[in-house]
Structure 1
């Protein structure tokens, strides 16, 4: 068992004191979130976004959901805008949420598969970025290699959104945090426990949880830990924001006293040949009611889908504790919130969320 705990030490207390002093001095809080502008930015990883910027994205997303879904308003905020959607990897939620969301806001989405665009094969990523910048206002790319996104962003003159890469999946985490904010009423002080593979979804949790005051406990089998560079940055963030970060190989240790249990596929696209070995290595990691028995009484469950039985059993997945279907729906509202924020100066109309 390996374990790293960043909590309750003098350095954290000292840094937290400095953080609070800085907040008082520079007005961090509601006023600063209200004044945040993300127009023209790209979103490759939440590592590049501050606490206030992530909160702003969640606030805009909640606002659009309230106004469009609940109040039945028509908001053509992206009228006349066009979106290029590059998909090297197939997806249900990413495609449907982005395509329908952009159209709902009055824009025109264009879906491009590897058969349509031949990214990096018949045409370089550099040339593709420059060409699409002349056609579209924004590009979402779901790719194998994160370096492809970095090349696109370097050469494009329009915002680039990471629809998933081998290193990060930021748009999934925005949906997860909006779902938890809706359910619990606030994110600050929640404990999220990841039980599974050290993958791109986990990396995005690690780059954002501390910024929202969320404690993060991670259980991965030996050899399946998160990237070391991501761990190092997550350690720094946990110290900076005064949150807890735990790394272990024991699922029950990670689940102990947690508010939220999270897992994901153990065999991602491109890892099919490793399936037999991975299922053996992840033995004991299935989330069940027994796993939840050591969590807090109000524990809930998240999974970004598609789900397989070995990752979580039906008793949890279809229980009242499962938030997976509201989580899936929120993929739409958060990608809409992100696109609106990157393309416009939209100001939310609903009261600011409690974080």
Structure 2
């Protein structure tokens, strides 16, 4: 029996901690097959709709390559290609796509949109990112941690920056589910909503995770096995850049903050894109405006030997492949794994 068969992955708590662990390990297994050039066409003959309301590098690339590796055909539908609620409701669109495609990926703004697609399409739907959650990123991130340390339980992950973003929400909940200690270093106004903290705390109590939310960046860094950050202003977010940057400057991941972990082997993580230099239009514009060489992470840390950001980016593909194969493929997954 496949616990995953025909299930959507809309947010982390759609699955149990054991099921998340299975997806992480299965992603690692598929990564090994890919490296050894062993075919794994679990989705032979399937058709996948890729709905993108927001632009994307990693999510789009990962879903496309993963689908093709699995033997499926991915079809990209951008914000100008289909209606997205303008002339046709999301529910009607879902019913049409569900009759033509075997699975649907959605990346956009409202969590409600991806939930509606799952409710009405009748096929597995995968959340490639919404304003609230980023579940496919979590499988990649915790796969990266497991590859580095050989285990997850008992590790400490420290996240700095905007804690009430999709990344802040997803990381605190997933860490708590997997027995990973989670430290958030952020101004109080940018902590996750209380409802999210409550979900995380419930899982933390069950799985032995310690959750620390603090405005003291150095305190948050203490004993961290991994330090993690994301851009300070999310895509499409309407905020005053000056105000946000002033607020988050003390939480920049730099050499001093990494040293505050007290560990020599702390890894550096970032879900990308990163403003670690002036090689991007936005990075240059904001950097010059606020006299900063880098924003959320300094270039020396981003490019240091302890940085795993590009392995983490690659792991998006293996993670997404595992999610699609488990929920849409005809896999034999023994029940004993979830006993």
TM-score (norm 1): 0.86
Aligned to 2:279: none
Aligned to 2:138: 173
Q: CA deviation at 1:99?
A: 0.6
Aligned partners of 2:235, 2:246: CA distance in 1, in Å? 18
Aligned partners of 1:346, 1:274: CA distance in 2, in Å? 48
Q: Secondary structure at the match of 1:117?
A: coil
Q: CA deviation at 1:40?
A: 0.7
Aligned to 1:314: 299
2:70 is equivalent to residue 105 of structure 1: yes
Aligned to 1:189: 154
TM-score (norm 2): 0.90
2:184 is equivalent to residue 215 of structure 1: no
Aligned to 1:339: 324
Unaligned residue ranges in structure 1 (runs of 5+):
1-34
Runs of 4+ in 1 over 2 A off after TM superposition: 271-274, 345-348
Deviations 1:138-196 (A, max 9, x none): 00000111111111111120011100000000111110000111111111110000111
Aligned partners of 1:240, 1:151: CA distance in 2, in Å? 31
2:313 is equivalent to residue 328 of structure 1: yes
Answer whether contact 2:42 2:330 (CA < 8 A) is retained.
no
Answer whether contact 1:267 1:274 (CA < 8 A) is retained.
no
Q: Where do 1:189-268 residues align within 5 Å?
A: 189-198=154-163, 199-268=165-234
Q: Where do 1:274-285 residues align within 5 Å?
A: 274-285=240-251
Aligned to 2:286: none
Unaligned residue ranges in structure 2 (runs of 5+):
276-293
Q: Secondary structure at the match of 2:5?
A: coil
Q: Where do 1:1-355 residues align within 5 Å?
A: 37-69=3-35, 71-198=36-163, 199-271=165-237, 273-295=239-261, 296-308=263-275, 309-347=294-332
Deviations 1:286-332 (A, max 9, x none): 10111111212221110000001210101110001100000000000
Deviations 1:220-265 (A, max 9, x none): 1131111221011111111121210001111111001111100001
